[in-house]
Amino acid sequence: MPTVYTQEFKQRALRLMEDHLHHTQCSQWSAAQAVGTKLGISPHTMRGWLKQARRDAGTEPGATTDELEELRRLRRENRELRRANEILKTASAFFAAEPGRRLPK
């Protein structure tokens, strides 16, 4: 199961990474490796956090965290509606095929 980090921890890690980038003028990957090693976090995770934080700030192109959450919510809702639609189609076909059924007046 993946480790869940608090938002505060992520923000502190990102601040350390931004400071490292600013003071050493190194690449994002080098900063992610240096800071990630100190904190016991994968450099891939660190770099992903940095990229997402920059998207959220509008300094890097891509979907923001809010947009990604909305997309997940809409996909989940779409899935539920498709399931409900399939159930209604099946029920409709079942009742339409039932011989001798009379509709109430």
Q: What is the mean pLDDT of the chain?
A: 92
Is the per-residue pLDDT at 3 higher than 90? no
Name, in order, each residue with C-beta under 8 angstroms of 51's C-beta and a sequence gap of 6 or more: 60, 62
What's the rounded Cα separation, in Å, for the pair 61 and 55?
Answer: 6
pLDDT of residue 93: 87
CATH architecture of the domain formed by 1-62 = Orthogonal Bundle (1.10)
pLDDT of residue 102: 67
Would you kindly state where each structural domain of the chain is located, as residue ranges? Answer: 1-62, 63-98
> What are the pLDDT digits (tens) for 38-82?
999 999 999 999 999 999 999 999 999 999 999 999 999 999 999
pLDDT of residue 66: 95
Residue labelled with tokens 């011989």: 99
What's the rounded Cα separation, in Å, for the pair 41 and 44?
Answer: 8
